[in-house]
Amino acid sequence: MGLSSKVLLKALVALSPSIILLLILIDQFPYTGLGRIVALPIIILMNLLLIGLGLLVIGRLQLRYRIVLWGFIIMVTLCFALLMYPQEYGPSVAEELWDRLVE
């Protein structure tokens, strides 16, 4: 397996939690209007940029720092996807999820 295919595989694995979260959000919050057409590509692009930056930095770190950094990057991409997901009316998705968790 070449270097570029390893990097691509790492990027896809790091992006997969965000994609799964977006699929769940699409199922649970379908009333987004046209905002979803614009927001989904932006969310995926921003997550890929963050993962790409992580891949550049990861090569220079020790193993324990790599694990911590990957966990941080995945959590940030999930938070970004959750906060940027549009909602046409009513409270934002993050507020609705918080209300559901608290009740």
Question: Within 10 A of 25 (CB to CB), how many other CB atoms are there?
Answer: 21
Alpha helices in 2-102 (DSSP H): 3-28, 35-58, 63-84, 93-102
Average pLDDT, the chain: 88
Q: What is the pLDDT of residue 1?
A: 65
Structural domain boundaries, residue 83: 3-102
pTM for this prediction: 0.85
Each residue of 67-88: pLDDT tens digit?
899 999 999 999 999 989 888 7
Confidence grade of residue 93 (pLDDT, cut at 50, 70, 90) = confident
How many domains would you assign to the chain? 1
Q: Does pLDDT of 90 surpass 80?
A: no
Q: What is the pLDDT of residue 3?
A: 65
Contacts of 36 (CB under 8 A, 6+ apart): 26, 85, 86
| Contact present, 50 and 57 (Cβ < 8 Å) | no
> How many angstroms from the chain centroid is the CA of residue 9?
16
| Contact present, 17 and 72 (Cβ < 8 Å) | no
